[in-house]
């Protein structure tokens, strides 16, 4: 059985109505995506499918943790992830293959299955913050961050010279484009 099997919905057998699925985005699921930036995950996903005659509306509600590298100290840290997203699948006889337009997917009405795994994966990835920094020394030890790296960062900041050490104002300093003014 594939790790994505629970994410494959048998849409040909579904009648009109609302269906709920409890799914799990974990390490086994992530292993099916070879270039994933997530090392470890434990994300509970509640998928609510509202199937109508010409379309399905899918609500993805998920929360949990995903382990990625902290941008500050480079240690693997479990970041909280939670979000609610919607995907609309419209049935269209003109489409022989799956066609996507943002949060809208066109699917042939004769399709027997629909794999929501790529969409669930994408939503979890996009729920992670762009800048992944953890408040490294908040709370009580042991801290999840790399203490040695944090000490190095603090030492390098202390070694920087103070700003405006030569007491010149910013207006007196040559600008980036001043050298180009003399060119003719």
Residue 110 in domain: yes
Residue 25 in domain: yes
Residue 121 in domain: yes
Question: Of 89-103, 118-132, 143-157, where does mean pLDDT reach its minimum?
Answer: 143-157
Render pLDDT for 113-127 as a digit per residue (tens, 0 to 9): 999 999 999 999 999
Distances (CA, A) of 4 to 17, 20, 110, 117: 24, 17, 22, 6
Single pTM value for the model: 0.74
Look at the chain and report how many structural domains it folds into: 1
What percent of the chain is predicted at pLDDT more than 70?
75
Residue 27 in domain: yes
Domain that holds residue 115: 5-127
Residue 34 in domain: yes
Residue 182 in domain: no
Which residues 6+ apart lie within 8 Å of 27 measured at CB? 40, 41
Residue 148 in domain: no
CB–CB of 79/64 below 8 Å? Answer: no
Give mean pLDDT, residues 145-163: 65
Residue 88 in domain: yes
Residue 116, H or E segment:
none
Render pLDDT for 45-65 as a digit per residue (tens, 0 to 9): 999 999 998 899 999 999 999
């Amino acid at each position: 059985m594939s790790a994505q099997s629970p994410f494959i919905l048998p849409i040909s057998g579904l009648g009109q109505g609302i269906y709920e699925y409890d799914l799990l985005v974990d390490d086994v699921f992530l292993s099916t995506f070879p270039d994933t930036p997530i090392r470890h995950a434990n994300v509970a996903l509640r998928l609510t499918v509202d199937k109508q005659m010409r379309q399905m509306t899918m609500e993805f509600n998920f929360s949990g943790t995903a382990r990625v590298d902290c941008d500050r100290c480079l240690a693997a840290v479990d970041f909280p992830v939670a979000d609610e997203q919607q995907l609309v699948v419209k049935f269209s006889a003109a489409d022989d293959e799956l066609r996507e337009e943002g949060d809208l997917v066109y699917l042939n009405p004769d399709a027997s299955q629909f794999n929501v795994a790529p969409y669930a994966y994408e939503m979890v990835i996009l729920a992670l913050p762009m800048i992944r920094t953890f408040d490294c020394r908040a709370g009580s030890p042991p801290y999840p961050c790399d203490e040695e790296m944090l000490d190095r960062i603090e030492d390098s900041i202390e070694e920087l010279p103070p700003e405006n050490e030569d007491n010149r104002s910013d207006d007196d300093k040559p600008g980036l484009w001043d050298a180009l003014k003399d060119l003719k």
